Structure 1
Amino acid sequence: MPDEEDELRTELAKRLRQLRADAALSGAAAGERAGISQPMVSRWERGRNVPDPQQVASYAAALGARDDERDVLVGLAARLDEVREQNIPARVVLSRGAADFQRRVGRLEQGAARIRTFTPTVVPGLLQTKEYARAVFGAGGFIVGDDLSDAVNARLARQRLLDKVTSRQFTLLMTEGALRWMALSPAAMVRQLDRIAETADLPQVAVGVIEWTTAVEVFPMHGWDLYDDTAAVVGTETATGLITDTRDLLHYRQLFDRLEALASKGDALTSALARLRFEYASLR
């Protein structure tokens, strides 16, 4: 219920303000102690940004909150997370908060057993180097300064999931065109290709590239991420949509299967990446 969300947001902001007041700290001092910026403290206390439960727990501990105070704050943040998820429309919700959305996607990934990604024009986010991610988020100059750094760091934080040895499986597909889109210098693109090759060696990760010489009969207009059979994140030019409608999910699942059948993996992938690496290296 939207009313409950507003009430929870207001209550959490009020209690965070009181926590800092009880600690007799300025916003800058509280931020320094907790390892966040003063503007972020201010946004939390005004309810403009909402910290997740883990951030609330760390902040409360840094400001010396009692265990019972911390538990109340974390409980509010956790309930607010639940309500916000419930308020997402079944088909699509648009989001322009890049870092917040990255963290939301991270939570989807942590809760999924199988993650499938297709990107026609960019390297998948879970495979991007820091410099590539910065170029993507910074394109057009719409995300700058701390917001840009926050978005990049949130994306890189998601990548740590790839290194965890679990039963979770990743299938990450892209076109050769995405790798030929020279978003960075040739040397930086070589580093990006090396990052993809290294990740492809992980046992829980399957990476595929649809080479330009592969004949196709499918024409996807955009990229997407599938989380089990319960949700899909679809990127558009101006925003990002979260889809949970069963009909749409079936469509994206079937389309993904067709694309995966076209992709080069294993030794064929290694050869394709080596070929592209050689071509970029020759441009230096």
Structure 2
Amino acid sequence: MTTIASTAYSRDLGDELRRLRETSTSFTGRAMAAHLGWDPSKVSNIEHGKVRATEVDLVQWVATCGKNLEYLEEFRDRYQHAFDAYCVQLPDNLRTLAMTEAMAHTITSYEVMVLPGLLQTPEYARALLREGGIEAPEDVDAFVEARVGRQSVLQRVYRPECLFYVHELALQTLVGDTRVMKEQYLRLLFRTHTLRIVPSKVRSSVPQSKLTLYEFDKARPVVFSETDMAQVFAQDDLAVKRARRMFERLDAVALDPEQSRSKLAEYVSGLREDFHGRPTDLAQEQLQHGQRLR
């Protein structure tokens, strides 16, 4: 067992071992340690992704949980990369991302063409996934449910401190129809204390791809980026330093929270006529929307 700095992936896989213990045995962590002849701290550290378990440790753990050699080999193949400074995953693997969001005390993100997943309405998320055409149609509802479920971190008493930078291009990109966009704009109006818009005229001097920096109380920061093909988690010092410089640049060019609210109100005003041609009252819409979010 080797002590090493934990990573987003090591914490995810450690938690997977914990769940395996809880679902496949009747052992508590302390009882598991006694059964294996280990110190209780060893079980705790492995389950929290704080230490790298040896191959012998994994064999003993998996065997105790009643799993076969095939399961061991599959888990070992993933575990050998658990503590790498860079981790690449398929976009549909949401466990590591969800766990990273749940553990972070600070989340700073930047989106270019779409709105942040943590702020998306279900209708916006569904339209985005359907129009993207990458996910199988029968899987879209499950992905929407998972995305909405991740948003629960923002409702916790001890929720992370969040700051979302959004390029205005994301507001200009029609997802679904105008009804979907109006609902989404209204959702954002209630998050303007954590939202800063980068004006559309600012392009070449800001990052060209989405980026998120997660910071924790007792772990090193994690930089996250994503494309349609892969998710990348980086814990390298250089990657973190580069991400901080990018967010410093965004801080310099983005609208402040009040200006961002005014900019959002402009987009809502563009959709203020209801679908029967009658003008609507923006204040009343915001009130009704706030009631739906409770």
TM-score (norm 2): 0.64
Quick one: structure 1 residues 221 and 86, their matched pair in 2 at CA, closer, same or farther if it must change by over 3 Å?
farther
Once the 2 structures are TM-superposed, how far is the Cα of residue 152 of structure 1 from its aligned partner? Answer: 1.8
Instruction: Decide whether the 8 Å contact of 1:209 with 1:263 is kept in 2.
Output: yes
Instruction: Decide whether the 8 Å contact of 2:91 with 2:226 is kept in 1.
Output: no
Question: Are 2:209 and 1:227 equivalent residues in the alignment?
Answer: no
Q: Among 84, 93, 98, which residue is 1:106 paired with?
A: 98
Once the 2 structures are TM-superposed, how far is the Cα of residue 223 of structure 1 from its aligned partner? Answer: 0.4
Partner in structure 2 of residue 155 of structure 1: 147
Once the 2 structures are TM-superposed, how far is the Cα of residue 260 of structure 1 from its aligned partner? Answer: 2.1
Partner in structure 2 of residue 207 of structure 1: 195
Partner in structure 2 of residue 256 of structure 1: 247
Query: Which structure 2 segments of 5+ residues have no match?
Result: 2-14, 33-41, 53-77, 276-294
Instruction: Decide whether the 8 Å contact of 1:187 with 1:281 is kept in 2.
Output: no
Instruction: Decide whether the 8 Å contact of 1:123 with 1:178 is kept in 2.
Output: yes
Q: Distance in 1 between matches of 2:182 and 2:18?
A: 36
Post-superposition Cα deviations, 1:205-262, rounded to whole Å, max 9, x if no partner, equal x21111225x566131210111116211111232111111111111111101211222
Quick one: structure 1 residues 88 and 116, their matched pair in 2 at CA, closer, same or farther if it must change by over 3 Å?
same
Aligned with 2:270: secondary structure? helix
Q: Distance in 2 between matches of 1:167 and 1:159?
A: 10
Once the 2 structures are TM-superposed, how far is the Cα of residue 85 of structure 1 from its aligned partner? Answer: 6.7
Q: Among 140, 161, 167, which residue is 1:175 paired with?
A: 167
Quick one: structure 1 residues 80 and 151, their matched pair in 2 at CA, closer, same or farther if it must change by over 3 Å?
farther
Q: Among 187, 200, 203, which residue is 1:195 paired with?
A: 187
Post-superposition Cα deviations, 1:93-123, rounded to whole Å, max 9, x if no partner, equal 332251x3x2311211222221110001110
Once the 2 structures are TM-superposed, how far is the Cα of residue 136 of structure 1 from its aligned partner? Answer: 2.9
Question: Are 2:237 and 1:246 equivalent residues in the alignment?
Answer: yes
Q: Distance in 2 between matches of 1:254 and 1:234?
A: 15
Q: Distance in 1 between matches of 2:18 and 2:162?
A: 25
TM-score (norm 1): 0.66
Instruction: Decide whether the 8 Å contact of 2:113 with 2:167 is kept in 1.
Output: yes
Question: Are 2:132 and 1:144 equivalent residues in the alignment?
Answer: no
Q: Distance in 1 between matches of 2:126 and 2:17?
A: 27
Q: Distance in 1 between matches of 2:122 and 2:249?
A: 30
Question: Are 2:81 and 1:87 equivalent residues in the alignment?
Answer: yes
Query: Which structure 1 segments of 5+ residues have no match?
Result: 2-50
Once the 2 structures are TM-superposed, how far is the Cα of residue 160 of structure 1 from its aligned partner? Answer: 0.8
Quick one: structure 1 residues 166 and 256, their matched pair in 2 at CA, closer, same or farther if it must change by over 3 Å?
same
Instruction: Decide whether the 8 Å contact of 2:86 with 2:234 is kept in 1.
Output: yes
Question: Are 2:133 and 1:133 equivalent residues in the alignment?
Answer: no
Q: Distance in 2 between matches of 1:180 and 1:283?
A: 19
Q: Percent identity?
A: 23
Q: Distance in 2 between matches of 1:231 and 1:160?
A: 20
